[in-house]
Structure 1
């Protein structure tokens, strides 16, 4: 969790991809907490904000481990670049060809604490990501935060040799 610095409006993530029965699949998670409960584009690449002075790629790997509960599988990374989400946050993502067994035991995952219900004075804690899944890219395009669909297109272009 970064402090309120110039880097506070950025995040970095790691997008795992693999060959699936219906083409390329990506690992995405549904954002936790009540704010996202009824939003259609509530899925995301595992990502988060850098610690002060942290390299963005190191942020992507650390946040993956914190949000998924296991370190990222080994593999070379492809820099998919940055996108700007509607709220203004810049997200930089790397892609890595790897598989991950979602049924295997995983460690604790990072959580977010929010006032819930609003203006109640009570706090509740929710996982940052819930319902982590492998999803075909075409399906993922309709689930992820709108700006992140561009990252999926960049991944497919890379895989096609472009």
Structure 2
């Protein structure tokens, strides 16, 4: 059995109104709240970086850029990527991520959708947004909201920004 794999981009920026480049203690990251009925009333642990599944022959970087566009309805940013490695989520999925500097207005997002049977066992299908809202968060707040395993990406981003000084 092969692992299910996803790849994604973690967009980061200096805080709103901040001058210059993002430092680890002031950076904001873009997260999306997972759409669909399972996540509707949850906040903590219900936010994610824009990501999605891929398989051979697609490369993870290409999948991350494709998924960013599919999930947000906007082109993936062209900034210099910072590799954040991999994490294994509680369901077993392996997620590979890159941090990319950039900015976007959350109100400009047109989320992709998915279809599922809802309510379960009803035989009816409904369409839901992959991400029902998108927002910028300071790292400390993002840690409280992001899927538990993905918090490692936030830590790795902070480490890389600290190691490189103000980025």
Match of residue 33, structure 2, among 24, 30, 45? 30
Task: Answer yes or no: is the 8 Å Cα contact 2:111–2:132 preserved in 1.
Answer: no
CA distance in 2, matches of 1:25, 1:69: 21
Name the residue aligned to 1:126. 128
Gapped runs of 5+ residues in structure 2?
A: 19-24
Instruction: With the length of structure 1 as denominator, give the TM-score of the two structures.
Output: 0.89
CA distance in 2, matches of 1:51, 1:110: 19
Name the residue aligned to 2:146. 144
Q: Does 1:11 align with 2:6?
A: yes
Q: Give the alignment's Cα RMSD to 1 decimal.
A: 1.7
Gapped runs of 5+ residues in structure 1?
A: none
CA distance in 1, matches of 2:33, 2:117: 20
Name the residue aligned to 1:112. 114
Once the two structures are overlaid, the 10-residue window that deviates more, 86-95 or 13-22, is 13-22
Name the residue aligned to 2:21. none
Match of residue 47, structure 1, among 34, 44, 51? 51
What's the CA shift string for 1:33-64, capped at 9, x where partnerless?
00112333110000001144100000000000
Shift of 1:27: 0.4
CA distance in 2, matches of 1:128, 1:51: 19
Q: Which runs of 4+ in 1 moved over 4 A?
A: none
Task: Answer yes or no: is the 8 Å Cα contact 1:73–1:100 preserved in 2.
Answer: no
